[in-house]
Amino acid sequence: MIYKDVIIIGGGPAGLCAAKMLADQDVSVLLVDRDHHLGGQLVKQTHKFFGSEKQYAKNRGFEIANILINDIIDKPNIEIMLGAFVIGLYKDHVMSLVKDDEYYKFKAKAFIIATGASEKSLAFENNDLPGIYGAGAIQTLMNVYGIIPEDEVLMVGSGNIGLIVSYQLLQAGVKVKGIVEAASSIGGYKVHATKLKRLGVPFYMQHTIKRALGKDSLEAVEIVKLTDDFQEIENETKMIEVKALCVAVGLSPLSQLLGMMEVNMKYIKELGGLVPVLNHLNQTSNPNIFACGDVGGIEEASSAMMEGYIAGLGVLKHLECPHPCHDQLIEMYHRELELLRNSNYGEKTKAGLKKLGGPYVE
């Protein structure tokens, strides 16, 4: 058994910022990630971020990852374990993980769960054919490993992920054959959609995927027009020949580890699924367990960073070694979160947080 004061699970924007807050403090920290590098999904984001300087706005996602990693990488009180897959979190505060086929057990006073989210799929005939990918998978393949999925791709979903990944496909020299959207209006920022329209990408509004066709892998996709109440219109279908389909229909929180600790959780549709109820320090109903980032509700990397700082401050306070500027910093990061959520696209998050209850409700 290896003992630590704090264990952070997940080295994405939330986990990195939590670690940053604990750096140089009088606590021993272990930061674990199942990936072979830190940065989480920031490493595949090539677009410039919005927000304020607190969220490194105007920097590209992978650049933000590098800034945050550099801030914590050589800190004597932070141990980093990569390629480490956490398999359990138990009520006696033991966490077990596997790394390079070795099994390890750790015990900590407090845990920060920053596990992020996983991609949702879409139900249609043959949706398991090779050639159908989550949007994140295409970003990883293309932006991290430099491999294109195919020469032509069809996108489902016009939220920010669908729009941004479509633009990134064009940047990599891939033709986007269209963006299929079930709703009657664009889900993400209009500025991204306008850019794509100008580049000649067709938008199939009020359409969904009826079925995928192909023997060994995807060869064509049949799309169908929808009514205002999302019913398929039988005869209004269109066949699109394409070997790759990118599914960008949202994410759901990876909250299984929190489930193992039986913390108070609720299913909130607006936040993407099952999420923990948190107080103003991002602390769960178990005072030793904190959560930050997408695991607490699907938002953007910018808010995940702010929540990471808050969780870090919360843990320091909980371990009775509060940050000298605790109150000021908590207030500041909550104000930043509020600003981010007051933008046009924070409505859903705010509605979700209201249902969830807790400190984010006015």
Partner 1 sequence: MRIKDHPILTFVDKKDITFFFQGQPIVGKEGDMIAFALHSHGIKTISYSQKLNRPRGFFCGIGNCGSCKMRVDGVDNVRTCITPIKENMRVEIQTDKGTIE
Min CB(34)–partner 1 separation in Å: 6
Looking at residue 337, the DSSP 8-state letter turns out to be H
Within 25-81, where are the H helices? 61-72
Please identify, using beta-carbon distances, which residue of 134 and 273 lies nearer to partner 1.
Answer: 134
Joined together, the tokens standing for residue 265 give: 């959780």
Query: Rounded CA gap, 79 and 126, in Å?
Result: 45
Backbone angles phi, psi at 135, to 5 degrees: -60, -35
Which residues, other chains included, contact 146 with Cβ-Cβ below 8 Å and sequence gap of 6+? Answer: none
Please identify, using beta-carbon distances, which residue of 171 and 185 lies nearer to partner 1.
Answer: 171
Per the DSSP assignment, residues forming a β-bridge with 152 are: 175
Note whether 145 binds partner 1 by CB under 8 A.
Answer: yes
DSSP-derived secondary structure for 278-328: --TTSB-SSTTEEE-GGGGS---HHHHHHHHHHHHHHHHHHTT---TTHHH
Site string for partner 1, 92-131 (x = CB under 8 A): --------------------------xx-x------xxxx
Please identify, using beta-carbon distances, which residue of 130 and 259 lies nearer to partner 1.
Answer: 130
Query: Rounded CA gap, 323 and 318, in Å?
Result: 11
Site string for partner 1, 202-221 (x = CB under 8 A): --------------xx----
Min CB(116)–partner 1 separation in Å: 9
Q: In angstroms, how far is CA 340 from the centroid of its own chain?
A: 16
Note whether 134 binds partner 1 by CB under 8 A.
Answer: yes
Size of the site for partner 1 (CB under 8 A): 34
Min CB(249)–partner 1 separation in Å: 13
Min CB(233)–partner 1 separation in Å: 29
Joined together, the tokens standing for residue 358 give: 């807790």
Note whether 180 binds partner 1 by CB under 8 A.
Answer: no
Please identify, using beta-carbon distances, which residue of 150 and 336 lies nearer to partner 1.
Answer: 150
Please identify, using beta-carbon distances, which residue of 109 and 120 lies nearer to partner 1.
Answer: 120
Which residues, other chains included, contact 267 with Cβ-Cβ below 8 Å and sequence gap of 6+? Answer: 273, 274, 275
Q: Which of residues 76, 146, 200, 324 is near partner 1 by CB under 8 A?
A: 146
β-pairing verdict for 289-291 and 102-113: parallel
Please identify, using beta-carbon distances, which residue of 142 and 223 lies nearer to partner 1.
Answer: 142
Query: Rounded CA gap, 162 and 239, in Å?
Result: 21
Please identify, using beta-carbon distances, which residue of 138 and 310 lies nearer to partner 1.
Answer: 138
Looking at residue 57, the DSSP 8-state letter turns out to be T
Note whether 254 binds partner 1 by CB under 8 A.
Answer: yes
Please identify, using beta-carbon distances, which residue of 36 and 91 lies nearer to partner 1.
Answer: 36
- What is the torsional sign of CA 57, 63, 66, 71? negative
Please identify, using beta-carbon distances, which residue of 81 and 129 lies nearer to partner 1.
Answer: 129
Note whether 171 binds partner 1 by CB under 8 A.
Answer: yes
Task: Answer whether 131's CB lies under 8 Å from 209's CB.
Answer: no
Q: Which of residues 38, 95, 142, 226 is near partner 1 by CB under 8 A?
A: 142
Min CB(143)–partner 1 separation in Å: 6
Contacts with partner 1, residue ranges (CB under 8 A): 34-36, 41, 46, 60, 118-119, 121, 128-134, 136-138, 140-143, 145-149, 171-173, 216-217, 254
